[in-house]
Chains A and B, each alone.
Chain A
C-alpha cells in the first residue's frame, strides 16, 4: 500500500492550480522542501518505476533484471483493461455527480446568511474530520446486505422486496466516493463564488434577466473554473482512492489501487503491482495536467 499511496501524491499535488511565482525570495529557501520532495517522492517513485521492469516468479521471487513482461501482461490481458476501465468509469461518474450536487450546494451555501452558513458549512466539511474508513464503514452498515439499517427499514416499509445491492457494486463505490469527495468540490466552487461581484447579478437583473438566466448565463460561466478545478481534484482523488473501493468493492470489485495493493501484499508480485501503480500515476498525471491546461486556456478571461 505504501508504494501505491506515495505514487498518488504528485497527482493530487498537480491538481491544485499553480501558485504564482514568488519573485524576490532567495532560491535556497526551497532547499528543505526540495530535499523532502526528492527524498520521499522522487526516489521511491524512481524505484517503483524500476521495479515495474523487474521479473517475478512464484518461487524465484523478484529478479532485478530489465524485462517488459509486466507491461506486456497489462497491455494484453483484458483483465487489466477491465480494471482500469472500471477505475476510470467510477472516477468519472463520481466527478460528474459531485459537480452536479456540489455546485448548487455551494451556490445555496453562499446565499445563506451568517449563522446558517456556518452551520451548513460545518455539516458539509464535517466528513473531512472523520476518517474515510469510518465513513465508508457507515455506508456499509446502512446498506450492507439484508442486515443493513436502511435496507431493513425500506423492506419493512414494503418499498422494496429484496435488499438494495450496495456492497460489491460500482454504484455503492460511487455513492460512498461522492460523499467522501463532496467537500473538495464545494470548497472549490465556493472559493470561485467568493470572487464574484454581487453587483454583477444585480446588473443582469436590471437588464431583464430572470433568476434562471442569471445562473445559467452569468453565475455558472464565472464559477466554471472553480467547478473544473474541483473536478480535477475529485477525479484524481477518486481514481486513486483506496479505502472506499477496498471496503465497499472488496476483492470482488477491484479498481486499480486495490489491484496494486493485492499484487503487492497478497500475490506478492511486487513488479506487477508496481507496473499497475505506475500506469495509474502516469495516466492521472496526463489527464490532470491536460485538463488543467485546457481549463486555464479556456477560462483565461474569468480567472485572471
Chain B
C-alpha cells in the first residue's frame, strides 16, 4: 500500500500496528488434528438437539450441553449456495473470478464455506448440486482449513 501523505492540515496518516495469534480451541484442535493426520472431517454431535456440528465444537449453542461424541463425516455434500467474486479484499478487480461454495456435508447439520474448484462461470453451477471435498495430500497438510483445497462438482 502506498503511504498516504499529510494533506494541507486536513488529514494525517497512521495505522493500528497489531498482529494476532488466534486459538484453534478445544474443538478446533480435534478437527484440525484429524484433518492433518488422517485427512478426515470430524464433527461433534448433540444427541438432544439432533445436530452434528462440523468443525467439531465442545458445546452446543442451542442447549449448552458439553459435546463429547465425535463423528467422522464423509467428504461429500450438497451445494447450498455459490458465487463468483470479481474483486479482492481491497476492492480491486481480480484477473479471474473466484468461485465460492457453501456446502452442507451429507452427514452434518452445519454448512462450510470454501472454494469451488474447476468452474469458471455461474452457468456451470446450480444450487442443490452434489459436490466432493478435495483434501490435500498428507505431506502438504499443516493443520489449517487450507488443508482442504475446496469442492468440485461430483
Query: Do chains A and B interact in one complex?
Result: no
